[in-house]
Structure 1
Amino acid sequence: MSSSSTPALSVLDLVPVRTGQTTPQAIAASMLLAKKADDLGYRRYWFAEHHNMKAVASTTPPVLIAAATAHTSRIRLGSGGVMLPNHAPLIVGEQFAALEAIAPGRIDLGLGRAPGSDPVITQLLRRSGTTSEAQQFPDHVRDIQELMSPEGATVRFTSGGTYAVTATPAATSSPTVWLLGSSDFSAQLAAQMGLPYVFANHFAGEGLERAMALYRQGYQPSERHPAPESFVTANIVVAPTEDEAFERALPQMRQFARLRTNKPMRPIETIDEAKAAASDALEDSFIEQMRRRWFIGTPTSVAQRLREFAEKNEVAEIMVSSGDGAYADEPLDEPTGRAQTLELLADAM
């Protein structure tokens, strides 16, 4: 790090799937990227949870985290995040207690209250088949914390008596729980519960400054977190030249634009496909907006913007959501562009 004001760097991975790429190849590429981030000194590496998407293979964060433990030795591994309404708190607690036992002191449990998919998949995932579980989110977060602790949780019956429940028989430590969100609700809840908070800036269009202010101003210290802890995500593409950086960002930006304009989703285009695609005025306008918000460019220019961004928002860490696309002739089982972004950014910061 070049100075005390330079933010630490982390990675958010959706395990992107591009044209012609298989799920095994996409996961193999992400495992190589996790190792690269570990070697480069990145602070943490998180996997997202999305379902039934042609361009995203990150459906089960706990499985991917477990796989990544075999490819890394130092970096923190976690979820960005587990979409809690989709899962029973006990299952989440058991999964992450086991991960903590596999990699003690290296596991983060990022929790979100969004479904992470469309209504049909949401219906298939949820136990009750309703959306009401999002309203139970605060209680479920508390339940998971208790279940993962060495002491475990206690079920109290209305008829009298208790029942002890633990996520794992003999825990010696527990994962760090983070609340994720892009709204006032998540920021305020994290503050009330004395938990670390992550603002999902990589897809939120606005609200960052307000959410961070609400979190810091309302923070109630907890035993494990006496002071507020937070960072933000950002879409970042770094290349040796501005032209290459924009080319590598183009497929992912086109994917976002298709999502915003309700067009059918497909695997992420190669750079060659994206450059050859016919112009669409509405999509082009969304891409131009994203180009202004994303951090796209050479190492020096992006590093400077990130330092200013971190200082403005009073965060000491930035989580890189790498939007790099791939040229058609690049290996399908390697994260060529994404690895380049991590390498160049680490050197420049």
Structure 2
Amino acid sequence: MRLSVLDLVPVRTDQTTSDALAASTSLARVADELGFTRYWVAEHHNMAAVAATSPPVLIAHLAAHTERIRVGSGGVMLPNHAPLAVAEQFALLEAAHPGRIDLGIGRAPGSDPVTSIALRGAAGRDDTDVQRFPEYLDDVVALMGSDGVRVPIPRQQYVLKATPAAATEPRLWLLGSSMYSAHLAAAKGLPYVFAHHFSGEHTAEALAVYRREFAPSEAAAEPITFLTINAVVAPTREEAVEAALPQMQLMARLRSGMPLGPLDLIEDALALDTSRLQPLIDDGLTRAVIGDPADAAEQIRKLAARFEVDEVMVNPIGSAHRGEDPRSARSREQTLELTAAALL
């Protein structure tokens, strides 16, 4: 089995953004040393608990601090950006780190409506950008290619390319959390990942549609996919549950429309009265992989078999105890170490 990592660059109550980035840099190095296949960073905006706002910037930083592991986006939310800008950013990343860059693209805004408007700028981009997502996806692919795109203008064909002399291209993945993405990935013959880590209700259905409808392409001769999971692995299940609790409370507040802040420390989460949110917290704990190494490894094997994948991407969600170094994420590193020891 191949193992990979998803990172939202979480920000705890004891951390600055700089601290959170230092912790994620250390986590990426651990993943690289342990033999994980890829390390993806998300795109979210205006959220106190998430520092992953700019995947290209993070990818450049993490790729420069690792040696072997593929680094990519999970994902770039394409309606927020001009296709040419995305193509240029990732073509340059591929030129700097040949054969190590993945471009995962999603359709969701990754933010609230006000932030989405601010991201799209004065040009007035609106919901039609979501409707034109398949067109924008094709534009990104073509612009990163060695031939570029021919733009018809009066009396000539203008050639537009992301970089002047592309030798290799990033590996493109389509990401999604709905059936729309499964149909689109299949139609375009792209590698596809369904966001099981936060939308696990339709994973089997989406992957079945993708595999059934897949049309071979230059990007992929056959369906390519893997599974994403939230996980905390610790020496005992009790320790794992405690470390997972702050993230589960945060997600329960999000799903309930409550105000959000940075990720709580474990002691603070244990002291909270969250009885109103307990059903949502319990649901999150049930859907995540949480336990000691043997139990967690068995859970991952069963999930991989159930969804017929040979790669699992782990989102290590554990928080920290009060007094730990704010520039580290020991629980998250431990999750990778114990998972790798059991499965790699």
How do 1:303-342 residues align onto structure 2 when only pairs under 5 Å count? 303-342=297-336
> Which residue type is aligned with residue 188 of structure 1?
H
The answer to whether the aligner puts 1:136 opposite 2:132 as a matched pair is yes
- For the residues of structure 1 that align with 2:225 and 2:31, how far apart are their CA atoms? 20
Give the structure-1-normalised TM-score: 0.96
1:79-103 Cα shifts (integer Å, max 9, x gaps): 0000000000000000000000110
The answer to whether the aligner puts 1:149 opposite 2:145 as a matched pair is yes
How far apart are residue 223 of structure 1 and its match?
Answer: 2.0
The answer to whether the aligner puts 1:64 opposite 2:68 as a matched pair is no
The answer to whether the aligner puts 1:93 opposite 2:82 as a matched pair is no
The answer to whether the aligner puts 1:84 opposite 2:78 as a matched pair is yes
Query: Which secondary structure does the structure 1 equivalent of 2:201 belong to?
Result: coil
Query: Which secondary structure does the structure 2 equivalent of 1:186 belong to?
Result: helix
Query: Which secondary structure does the structure 1 equivalent of 2:132 belong to?
Result: helix
- For the residues of structure 2 that align with 1:269 and 1:218, how far apart are their CA atoms? 43
The answer to whether the aligner puts 1:218 opposite 2:213 as a matched pair is yes
- Partner residue, 1:276: 271
**Could you list the runs of 5+ residues in structure 1 that have no partner in the other structure?**
1-6
- Partner residue, 1:196: 191
- Partner residue, 2:160: 165
Greater mean deviation of Cα atoms: 195-204 or 281-290: 281-290
> Which residue type is aligned with residue 61 of structure 2?
A
How far apart are residue 123 of structure 1 and its match?
Answer: 0.6
How far apart are residue 290 of structure 1 and its match?
Answer: 1.2
> Which residue type is aligned with residue 264 of structure 2?
E
- For the residues of structure 2 that align with 1:173 and 1:88, how far apart are their CA atoms? 22
- Partner residue, 1:44: 38
1:299-347 Cα shifts (integer Å, max 9, x gaps): 1001111111101101111110111011011110012110000000000
> Which residue type is aligned with residue 147 of structure 2?
E
> Which residue type is aligned with residue 56 of structure 1?
V
> Which residue type is aligned with residue 270 of structure 2?
K
- For the residues of structure 1 that align with 2:174 and 2:285, how far apart are their CA atoms? 28
- For the residues of structure 1 that align with 2:232 and 2:152, how far apart are their CA atoms? 51
- For the residues of structure 1 that align with 2:43 and 2:255, how far apart are their CA atoms? 19
How far apart are residue 128 of structure 1 and its match?
Answer: 2.4
- Partner residue, 1:186: 181
Query: Which secondary structure does the structure 2 equivalent of 1:21 belong to?
Result: coil
Do 2:5 and 2:314's aligned partners in 1 also have CA atoms closer than 8 Å? yes
The answer to whether the aligner puts 1:14 opposite 2:8 as a matched pair is yes
> Which residue type is aligned with residue 277 of structure 1?
L
- Partner residue, 1:3: none
- For the residues of structure 2 that align with 1:118 and 1:182, how far apart are their CA atoms? 17
Query: Identity over the aligned pairs, expressed in percent?
Result: 53
> Which residue type is aligned with residue 73 of structure 1?
E
Query: Which secondary structure does the structure 1 equivalent of 2:187 belong to?
Result: helix
- Partner residue, 2:291: 297
Do 2:232 and 2:316's aligned partners in 1 also have CA atoms closer than 8 Å? yes
1:275-301 Cα shifts (integer Å, max 9, x gaps): 1112x3331111111111111000100
Do 2:192 and 2:225's aligned partners in 1 also have CA atoms closer than 8 Å? yes
- For the residues of structure 2 that align with 1:161 and 1:228, how far apart are their CA atoms? 39
Number of equivalenced pairs: 341
How far apart are residue 166 of structure 1 and its match?
Answer: 0.6
- Aligned partner of 1:253 among 248, 251, 256: 248
1:140-170 Cα shifts (integer Å, max 9, x gaps): 111111111111111124x563110110111
- For the residues of structure 2 that align with 1:164 and 1:271, how far apart are their CA atoms? 55
Greater mean deviation of Cα atoms: 141-150 or 77-86: 141-150
1:122-150 Cα shifts (integer Å, max 9, x gaps): 01112424111011111111111111111
Query: Which secondary structure does the structure 1 equivalent of 2:183 belong to?
Result: helix
Query: Which secondary structure does the structure 2 equivalent of 1:325 belong to?
Result: coil
1:180-212 Cα shifts (integer Å, max 9, x gaps): 001111011001101000010111041001100
**Could you list the runs of 5+ residues in structure 2 that have no partner in the other structure?**
none
How far apart are residue 20 of structure 1 and its match?
Answer: 2.3
- For the residues of structure 1 that align with 2:254 and 2:238, how far apart are their CA atoms? 25
- For the residues of structure 2 that align with 1:288 and 1:335, how far apart are their CA atoms? 24
Do 2:319 and 2:329's aligned partners in 1 also have CA atoms closer than 8 Å? no
Give the structure-2-normalised TM-score: 0.97
How far apart are residue 232 of structure 1 and its match?
Answer: 1.6
